[in-house]
Amino acid sequence: MEIFQTAFQWKCALNLQAAWILALLFLLQMIGQHYAQSSDSCNANLELDLAFDTIECVNVGNDYILRYEQNDNAISIVLSAPYTTGWVGMAFSEDEFMVGSSAMVGWIKQDGSGSIKQYYLGGKSVGKVQVDDTKLVVVNNSASVQSRGSTIYLAFQLLFAEPVKSQNLLYASGSVTPSNDQLSKHSSAFHTTLDFTTGTSSTSSTTETMKRNHGALNIFAWGVLLPIGAIIARYFRQWDPAWFYLHVGIQLFGFIFGVAGVILGVALYNRLDSNIRAHRGLGIFILVLGILQVLALLLRPQKEAKVRKYWNWYHQWFGRLALFLAAVNIVYGIRVAEAGQTWKVGYGFVLAILLLVVIVLESIFWIKWFRRPPEAPAFQMYNTNA
């Protein structure tokens, strides 16, 4: 019987170590994607068949590259973006919002040819986005769409009543190729303000502040506080009952900060009118898991109850799942926000430290377990009913 019990514990230890290694490899792979370069850049040679030339080049974000040239009241534009299928659009707006703006939208048809049309965004519903070539004055025969590998290029020339200095620009893409010129709902969108005289592109200060606060709150809550609370619960139970109060206090503070980050994310989502479905969906699911963990604390059965071990399994594994998905979503959020090198390196350092601490403590835990006296039961080392 003792042999089978030891073999079972060895199997659990190996499975746990393998799970940590797989999680580490998955997260490192996602972090490595941050450093992957776009298939287009301002340093790349533009080998396209165009009716005009462009001089200035700006990386406006999300791997969108904007090349342009302004002559008096005429602006020549070439926009490139990552593309597999669907559509890509660039809108000109008097404010930061899509409603009321006019856009140039392009896509590649099934036969490989390109199509580009002008749309007026009369509302947020799909039916209110209609083809309308009266809002923007497009120079004849200047509009075209071409693709090179996984990049699409929208090219066109616009005429304005007077030279343009600063312009609110909106960028969006949809995953479904238009049918009968009807656009599907966008899957991603963002806004910048471009100064055509200096070539500088920036988002509004309010939006940038909201982005930074959203990222900082969620990294601090889901990426720092909650993992520390989980580490205390697993590896420091010999400090009874101090570990329990530390665990509960840290997790509650982390959950409060996490909820604040999610609320700010919802406000940011509504402000940008964006639809980053993977990041948003993961965030909602993680929040639900966090709420279930809080409810688990309120519904914790007595130590002597028969259902206590099932409650332990539920609390521990749901918590681990929430922390793992939170780390994935933080990495993905940094990527889609184009947060910059500082955020990538900063969170990468935090994640590496946490994983190193877990690996060391987990190794020490199992070394002590296998070195325990034969008469000492396992639950004295790691009391799951505490």
Tens digits of per-residue pLDDT, 14-52?
444 544 555 555 555 554 444 344 468 888 888 888 878
Mean pLDDT across the chain = 82
Distance between CA 146 and CA 155 in Å, rounded?
8
- 0.85 exceeded by pTM: no
In a domain, 334, yes or no: yes
- Cα angle 320-220-268, degrees, rounded to a multiple of 5: 105
Domain boundary among 172, 203, 234: 203
Instruction: Examine the domain organization and report whether 109 and 236 are in the same domain.
Output: no
Report the CATH number at residue 152. Answer: 2.60.40.1210
Of 322, 298, 294, 301, the residue nearest 384 (C-alpha): 301
Question: Which of 297 and 248 is assigned the larger pLDDT?
Answer: 248
In a domain, 385, yes or no: no
List of long-range contacts for 288-292, beta carbons under 8 Å, 24+ apart: 289/318, 289/319, 289/321, 289/322, 289/325, 290/255, 290/258, 290/259, 290/322, 292/318
pLDDT digits (tens, 9 = 90+) for 303-339: 778 878 888 888 888 899 999 999 999 988 888 776 7
Strand partners, 201: 194
Instruction: Examine the domain organization and report whether 26 and 122 are in the same domain.
Output: no
Question: Which of 377 and 61 is assigned the larger pLDDT?
Answer: 61
Query: What local confidence, expressed as pLDDT, does residue 9 receive?
Result: 47
In a domain, 4, yes or no: no
pLDDT digits (tens, 9 = 90+) for 329-385: 998 888 877 677 788 888 999 999 999 999 999 888 888 877 776 655 544 444 444
Domain boundary among 203, 219, 249: 203
Report the CATH number at residue 271. Answer: 1.20.120.1770
- Check pLDDT > 90 for residue 92: yes
Query: What local confidence, expressed as pLDDT, does residue 38 receive?
Result: 47
Distance between CA 115 and CA 151 in Å, rounded?
15
The pLDDT > 90 percentage for the chain reads 37
Instruction: Examine the domain organization and report whether 292 and 368 are in the same domain.
Output: yes
Query: What local confidence, expressed as pLDDT, does residue 207 receive?
Result: 67
In a domain, 50, yes or no: no
Query: What local confidence, expressed as pLDDT, does residue 385 receive?
Result: 44
Q: What is the DSSP letter of 181?
A: T
Lowest mean pLDDT, pick from 71-85, 116-130, 182-196, 361-375: 361-375
In a domain, 319, yes or no: yes
Instruction: Examine the domain organization and report whether 235 and 281 are in the same domain.
Output: yes
In a domain, 43, yes or no: no
Distance between CA 31 and CA 17 in Å, rounded?
21
Instruction: Examine the domain organization and report whether 31 and 121 are in the same domain.
Output: no
For the chain, the straight-line distance linking the first and the last C-alpha, in angstroms and rounded, comes to: 26
pLDDT digits (tens, 9 = 90+) for 115-145: 999 999 998 788 889 999 889 999 998 999 9
Instruction: Examine the domain organization and report whether 132 and 254 are in the same domain.
Output: no
Question: Which of 170 and 201 is assigned the larger pLDDT?
Answer: 170
In a domain, 48, yes or no: no
- Check pLDDT > 90 for residue 386: no
Query: What local confidence, expressed as pLDDT, does residue 49 receive?
Result: 84
Domain boundary among 182, 203, 224: 203
Instruction: Examine the domain organization and report whether 197 and 343 are in the same domain.
Output: no
Instruction: Examine the domain organization and report whether 260 and 307 are in the same domain.
Output: yes
Domains contained in the chain, number: 2
Q: Which pLDDT band holds residue 13 (cuts at 50, 70, 90)?
A: very low
Instruction: Examine the domain organization and report whether 356 and 213 are in the same domain.
Output: yes
Domain that residue 359 falls in: 16-36+206-380
Q: Is the dihedral of CA 73, 78, 80, 86 positive or negative?
A: positive
Lowest mean pLDDT, pick from 51-60, 259-268, 294-303, 365-374: 365-374
Instruction: Examine the domain organization and report whether 192 and 210 are in the same domain.
Output: no
Query: What local confidence, expressed as pLDDT, does residue 36 receive?
Result: 41
Instruction: Examine the domain organization and report whether 215 and 356 are in the same domain.
Output: yes
Instruction: Examine the domain organization and report whether 167 and 216 are in the same domain.
Output: no
In a domain, 349, yes or no: yes
